[in-house]
Structure 1
Amino acid sequence: MRKQQNYQWNTLSLGTCYYPEHWDKNMWEEDLERMLAHGIKTIRIGEFAWSKVEPREGEFTFEFFDEFLKVVAKTDMNVIFGTPTATPPAWLTEKYPEVLNCRMDGVKFRHGMRRHYNYNSPVYQKLCKRIVEKFGEHYAKHPSVIGWQIDNEINCEVDEFYSESDTLAFRKFLKEKYGTLDALNQAWGSVFWNQEYTRWEEIYVPRITIHNSTNPHQTLDYIRFVSDSAVKFCKMQSDILRKYVKKGDFITTNGMFQNLDNHRLTDEALDVYTYDSYPNFAYCLCEDPKHSKNLNDRRWSDKLTEVRSICPHFGIMEQQSGANGWNTRMEAPAPKPGQMMLWAMQSIAHGADYVSFFRWRTCTFGTEIYWHGILDYDNRDNRKLAEVKKIYERVQAIEETAGAKNQAAFAMIKDYSNIWDAQVDVWHRRLTWSSEEEIFIASQLNHTPMDYLYLLENTEVEELLKYKVLIYPHGLILSEKKAALLKEYVAKGGCLILGARTGQKDENGKCVMTPMPGLLSEISGSDVKEFTFVGPADENVMMDWNGNMLETGIFNDILEPVGTHANVLAKYAGNYYKGSPVLIENTYGEGKVLHFGGTFTRENVKAFLDYTGVVETYRDVVEVPEECEITVKEKNHKMYIFVLNYSDQKQEIWMKKPAKDMDTKEQAEGKISLGAYETKVYEIL
């Protein structure tokens, strides 16, 4: 069982990201007072300001932030201080080029951007320890400082590391994991293409090869190594800060990025997790939002749901407030009137109790001159600032929902081995990425709230039993421990839905020589006899489920029932395997398993949710059109319904039970009209 999070906001609150080093000192006090007047009570500072404290190696000055904090102390503003390790200064990278990260071909990433360092350089670790110690020792005691952000966006920009320091650290990682080269060669299948290793010095992080095809088992271990390195780098900093933080203050970092076990990161290094939410990416000029099938900005609810699996009550360190883009890449339009409120409420609806807008004012210089903040270059009041004030009024009106627990009708199972294997294995990736998106879209369009449930080393069956239905889309990699956990869940009454390719591999990513679904065959009552991608020349392969014709997706396992409790629910209606089983139900203990031989689509997921009795769980409370999302929260035996209209058109909802409008405090029932991008929060009476 995972430990409880160490810190939780006890009220809903707003913040913004502020960079005093970017602005004239004469603007500081006016900026802070202006923020407070619009409901912003917390600022994040310092995460890119190493040189303000250590302008030259070993020369420390605290004058700049001391002066700024004196101004802060005159106000009621709170401060989250960032450690500045995401952007090592020029003197450091010039004198110690070994701290720089490299491309796979060994070419160093030079100074001039950000996140150009590697986690494993002993020199960089030493200098980071020292600057974090100086920051914590000097600033943590300040009464305005309430929290700390470690680094900035761990594994953002780049999540692969190929420096000499990384190779040395990778060898150490592998020695600790395998002990002997014989064990490593066996795990990696190194006999293939004559890759056997006879000395540890022969092993490197992945390097350039023909077609850039590396040993998949080595690469899977390499991703685990990158995650391990990032977690240790973050923990190194949090261990230092804990010597200085005041009682009641917190340590966090802002995620969520790839090649990183964010659950382990949170458990080992953080008090609370924060996320950077930019729904406007859905409208980048490279996209086609008018013809998108992935729900555009509403898709960020998927990411927020995943953040909630890491930390049930999280914060947003950077919330979309303006158009976004750099001078070198990324172009997106300004949020339309109402979308700032919509996106802030999207975050709160999914578990955020703190929302901090990026940024206070758009920077007038540097790479992010087009990453707009609340205020534009001219510094005048604008509609975005007015909308922040409305968001603050909304936050006050729904304050009692702080800390409320999100409710879900079902959960999708994930685990890091399969996430990382899908990055290595393009066959795995096509299945997983397609099915996971479609499961989320189905939950949204059918107003059936979902959770993500990660299978971790310390996951216990009680966490699974919270859900009547679990979907494990494509668990190619299975372990004895995960299989045992799933068996216990089903035996105790759970309903487990499996997709194609289940049980194909072991934890090293090697294919097992047993029939799929491998370690879950005992509970699935099924055997995979054959399998194939649905080719470009094939028609969509349908299945006949009691006369209901549904697509079976992009990959098909041809199944056969095994045992007396297995029942064929549906058969393929096309291709050379027409008439063969595609969906088998098997009872096991008090529960059941549905083994589906295809990949998931929004249509067949709806059928699964309907069959298992969880579709539209809250239809007796509220009915809404597809253009709207609902989330449900509970606290102190009260139920709260959040309704969010992502459309630029008016939408009608139907409150079927008496409810209190949290804004007006008036009773609401029957047909209610929501304007473009409008959101509502109701307490069900």
Structure 2
Amino acid sequence: MNKSIQLDSLQLGVCYYPEQWSDSLWEDDFKRMKQMNLSHIRIGEFAWSVFEPQEGVYDFDLFDRVLDLAQQYELKVIMGTPTATPPAWLTHKYPEVLNVSIEGVTYQHGMRRHYNYSSPKYRELCANITRQMANHFKNHPAIIGWQIDNELNCEISEFYAEADHIAFREWVQHRYHTLEALNKAWGTVFWSQTYTDWEQVYLPRPTVSHSPNPHHVLDEKRFISDNTIAFARIQAEILREVAPHHWITTNGLFGHLDTHALTEEMLDFFSYDSYPQFSTISGNNEHKPLLDRKWSQNLSVVRNISNNFCIMEQQAGPGGWVNRMNMPAPRPGQLRLWTYQSVLHGADLVMYFRWRTATFGTEIYWHGLNDYHNQPNRRIAEATQVGEEFVSIGEKIAGTTYQANVAILKDYDNDWDGEYDIWHGPLTAKSINAWFKQLQYQHIPTDIIYLRHQTLEELQRYQLIIYPHAAIMSEQTAMLLTQYVEAGGTLIFGARTGYKDLNGQCRMAPMPGPVASLCGISVADFTSITGTIEAPGLLWKHNNKQIEQAAELFNDILHIQHDDVEVLATYTSCYYENAPALTKRSQGQGQVLYYGAAFNEAVVDELLSLLDISSPLVDWLELPEQVEVGIRQNEHADYVFLLNYSDQPASIHAKVPRTDILTGTTIDGATTIPAYGVMILQS
């Protein structure tokens, strides 16, 4: 069930830390926020030492005054539970709450997120502060909702304190019931790892060659997710009980956490922290990288959790801590561009991080809207423009939903298994990047959906589904995908599909396992493409076209099992020269394709051409590659977002007149979108 924020109009807000500033600044801050049409603030998520300066001693005076002032200026407040930053008195008195590395080193006080979710004492203390805050603030008219903790599993997403080992042992007992079942699931007869007593079971620990049991490692990730959700549930249940009139969310999208389950089980909607420059600061040697536009891939995942969501932290300036994450200043226009990037993908409430840049602490370089000097700057001017635009267009856009006919399919089991498995994990990142990039450059809106409890009807929304390298695949999933194809869908698989079961064990059956009969092929041979091995090219049978880029990373050599299978491309070299590399089979009203390698951009382009997949705007709008396209729709209208990520103007040509709702201008014929500019055309 997709849970969404419910707003009648787009809203703009900002994260605020009153405990870090003199109270003489507060009123001027709030007055300026209102002048900028900022309507929401988030507070409190790092202030445990203010709320509870000593164990059992609570002081809410500072935040009472902040809330009263916020109410005076008609600002709506999201209150954060402060459990991401336990105070020094807590970690000193109860060191068992601290997290521990896999090597057994305890992470000490002095940062944030240095606790473990399993500690009974930490859970008790978190419940106490949550209940005290809920009781104290439940009737304050300024508060509309709560954020649980902050960025669950950020900084670190693996936990090895003694309490974690105990909790994991209980988790596997609940999952498997008997040691026999556990040993079978983990294949412990291999290398004499068989467990004969539950007390022998731990989370993965350092091993020779740093190579723990892969099935053990997969279950570790499942445990971390369940344990994180159990930790969050403690706070959610208290807030539901004490303040049922407030909504509950949390922010994130971090590792080893089933965020879909988290949202379904306890949140009203999901929130995300959007920092597009994280896509630009690492080395990138690929041709024509998406850069900050690649962040739309993350936002597409968020949209799969909540169609309409909150951006709890929107990048507002140059970013980074004193010692890492060095992000340059956004160029003029980029702050506004990134805001609309979030809105395009489903955000109805956007909160800038942060109001004023911190003058002390780890984040003194993580800039907010205001600089240290607190004087007007260009970021304030851009946010002010966005605030004015939200007032103008907000009622039209809020509640509309993103429209896509193409989907990239993912799932948590393969995400987590692929972290450890070098024979299928690296393929996924490369292939999804190639697909998402080329779909972006060809202006084809795309959903990223996590396979969970989808019905056939839900999958039938999509003309094309790409499920690139699902090594783990259940028979139930195979049946659903077969039904999708037979009902008229087009489905594309990549190398290493379907050879593992849900325990991560390899099937004693021809690959691609449970979808072999659907595809009408088997994998006759295979090899990784590494070291001195040169990847072969592809010869496309439909036009004898040689693809310049190679069939990369891994090659499945395919064997045709049914006469109705069509070979679309063959390998051009190596001992399997001329062997099938890409096949297509019609099933029912649809078709399924299997590609025996990792997808690259050239292969994706060829497939899109072959399958006649094009932009929904192709008949009436001509656009250059530098512009991202997306459509938010309701029963009344389509709103076509055009986002120019380039430092150069983008020339476009509208074959039919459309109104840009940001300016009220009619676009007809040739026009330009400024560098880092935005248009929203109503149709």
TM-score by length of 1: 0.97
Q: What percent identity do the matched residue pairs reach?
A: 47
Q: What does residue 297 of structure 2 align with? A: 302
Number of the residue aligned with 1:25: 23
Q: Deviations over 1:119-159 (max 9, x none)?
A: 11101111111110111111122111011100000100000
Aligned equivalents of 2:86, 2:206: Cα separation in 1: 27
Alignment-derived partner of residue 339 in structure 1: 334
1:507–1:96: structure 2 CA closer, same or farther, 3 Å change rule? Answer: same
What amino acid is aligned across from residue 254 of structure 1 in structure 2? N
Report if the CA contact (8 A) 1:470-1:497 is conserved.
Answer: yes
- Aligned equivalents of 1:120, 1:460: Cα separation in 2: 35
Distance in 1, matches of 2:20 and 2:202, equals 42
Using the TM superposition, give the Cα deviation of residue 593 of structure 1 relative to its aligned residue in structure 2, in angstroms: 0.9
| Residues 353-395 of structure 1: per-residue CA shift (max 9 Å, x gap) | 1110000000011110110110011111111101111111222
Structure 1 counterpart of 2:183, one-letter code? N
Is 1:275 the equivalent of 2:269? no
1:459-493 deviations in Å (ceiling 9; x for gaps): 21111111011111001001122111111111212
Work out whether 1:584 is the aligned partner of 2:579. no
- TM-superposed CA distance for 1:564, in Å, is 3.1
2:84 aligned partner: 86
| 3-state SS, counterpart of residue 398 of structure 1 | helix
Following the alignment from structure 2 to structure 1, what is the Cα–Cα distance between the partners of residues 431 and 82? 39
Report the equivalent of 1:566. Answer: 565
**Which secondary structure state, in structure 1, belongs to the residue aligned with residue 304 of structure 2?**
helix
Q: Following TM superposition, by how much is the alpha carbon of 1:328 offset from its aligned partner in structure 2, in angstroms?
A: 1.9
Partner of 1:263: 260
Whole-angstrom CA distance in 1 between matches of 2:22 and 2:335: 28
Letter in 2 for 1:398: I
1:379 is matched with 374
The alignment status of 1:15 with 2:13, answered yes or no, reads: yes
Tell me the CA shift for residue 251 of structure 1. 0.6
Greater Cα shift, 494-503 or 59-68: 59-68
Corresponding position: 1:669 with 2:668:
yes
2:472 maps to 1:439: no
Please give the alpha-carbon distance, in whole angstroms, between the structure 1 residues aligned to 2:68 and 2:596. Answer: 64
Contact 2:423 2:528 in 1 (8 A): no
Corresponding residue for 1:161?
Answer: 159
In structure 1, the partner of 2:421 is 425
Q: Distance in 2 between matches of 1:618 and 1:641?
A: 9
Q: RMSD of the TM alignment (CA)?
A: 1.4
Q: Once the 2 structures are TM-superposed, how far is the Cα of residue 66 of structure 1 from its aligned partner?
A: 1.1
Residues 418 and 475 in structure 1, CA contact (< 8 A), matched pair in contact too: yes
Distance 1:210 1:112 in 2: 32
Q: Distance in 2 between matches of 1:430 and 1:12?
A: 39
Matched, 1:472 2:450: no
Instruction: For 1:102 and 1:574, locate their aligned partners in 2 and report how far apart those are by CA, in whole Å.
Output: 50
- Tell me the equivalent position of 1:357: 352
Contact 1:543 1:582 in 2 (8 A): yes
- Structure 2 counterpart SS, 1:182: helix
Q: Which residue of 1 aligns with 2:51?
A: 53
Determine the structure 2 residue equivalent to 1:601: 600
Give the deviation of 1:537 after TM superposition: 2.9
Q: Alignment partner for residue 189 of structure 1, among 187, 206, 227?
A: 187
The 2-side partners of 1:236 and 1:292 are apart by 47
1:534–1:541: 8 Å Cα contact kept in structure 2? no
Q: What residue in structure 1 maps to residue 196 of structure 2?
A: 198
| Range moving further from structure 2, 412-421 or 585-594 | 585-594
Shift in Å at residue 540 of structure 1?
A: 4.0
Q: Which amino acid aligns with 2:368?
A: G
Instruction: Name the residue aligned to 2:521.
Output: 526
Deviations 1:102-121 (A, max 9, x none): 00011111100000111111
Deviation at 1:288, TM superposition (A): 5.8
Q: Distance in 2 between matches of 1:357 and 1:543?
A: 47
**Residue aligning to 1:388:** 383
Closer, same or farther: CA 306–164 of 1 in aligned 2, 3 Å = same
Deviations 1:320-376 (A, max 9, x none): 111111112111111111000010011001111111000000001111011011001
560-569 or 362-371, which deviates more: 560-569
Deviations 1:200-227 (A, max 9, x none): 1111111111232111100000000000
Are 2:2 and 2:305, in contact at CA under 8 Å, matched by a contact in 1?
no
Q: Whole-Å Cα distance in 2 between the matches of residues 41 and 535 of structure 1?
A: 54
How far the C-alpha of 1:287 sits from its partner, in A, is: 3.5
Please state whether the residue corresponding to 1:243 is helix, strand or coil. Answer: helix
What CA deviation, in whole Å up to 9, does each residue of 1:222-265 have, x standing for no partner? 00000001111112111110123353x31110011010001001
Can you give the 5+ residue segments of structure 2 that lack an aligned partner in the other structure? none
Residues 97 and 121 in structure 2, CA contact (< 8 A), matched pair in contact too: yes
- Match of 2:242, SS state, is coil
Deviations 1:149-199 (A, max 9, x none): 000001000000000000000011100111111111111111122211111
8 Å contact kept, 1:398–1:681: no
In structure 2, distance between residues paired with 1:330 and 1:7: 31
Counterpart of 2:221 (choices 203, 220, 223) is: 223
The amino acid that maps onto 1:274 is S
Task: Quickly say closer, same or farther: Cα 1:197–1:180, change in 2 above 3 A.
Answer: same
| Aligned equivalent of 2:644 | 645
More displaced, 143-152 or 604-613?
Answer: 604-613
**C-alpha displacement of 1:398:** 2.6
CA distance in structure 1 between the aligned counterparts of 2:288 and 2:102, rounded to whole angstroms: 35
Matches within 5 A, 1:605-624: 605-624=604-623
- Give the match's secondary structure for 1:242: helix
Determine the C-alpha separation between the residues in 1 that align with 2:546 and 2:399. Answer: 43
CA distance in 1, matches of 2:608, 2:138: 50
**2:2–2:307 Cα contact (<8 Å) kept:** no
Contact preservation (8 Å) 2:512, 2:522? yes
Q: 1:4 offset after TM fit, Å?
A: 4.1
How far does the alpha carbon of each residue in 1:487-530 deviate from its partner, in whole angstroms, 9 at most, with x for none? 11112121111111111111111111111110011211111101
CA contact (8 A) 1:141 1:244 kept: no
Match of 1:254 in 2: 251
How far residue 609 of structure 1 moved from its aligned partner, in angstroms, is 2.0
Give, in angstroms, the shift of residue 296 of structure 1.
0.9
Say whether 1:147 aligns with 2:142: no
CA distance in 2, matches of 1:59, 1:535: 61
- Report what 1:412 is aligned to: 408
Q: Does 1:180 align with 2:178?
A: yes
1:292 Cα deviation after fit: 6.4
- 2:663 and 2:523 map into 1 onto residues whose CA distance is 57
For residues 128 and 293 of structure 1, the distance between their equivalents in structure 2, rounded to whole angstroms, comes to 47
| 1:96 pairs with 2:88 | no
| Aligned residue identity for 1:558 | I
Per-residue displacement from partner, 1:269-291 (whole Å, max 9, x unpaired)?
A: 1101111011122343x5469x7
Distance 1:201 1:508 in 2: 22
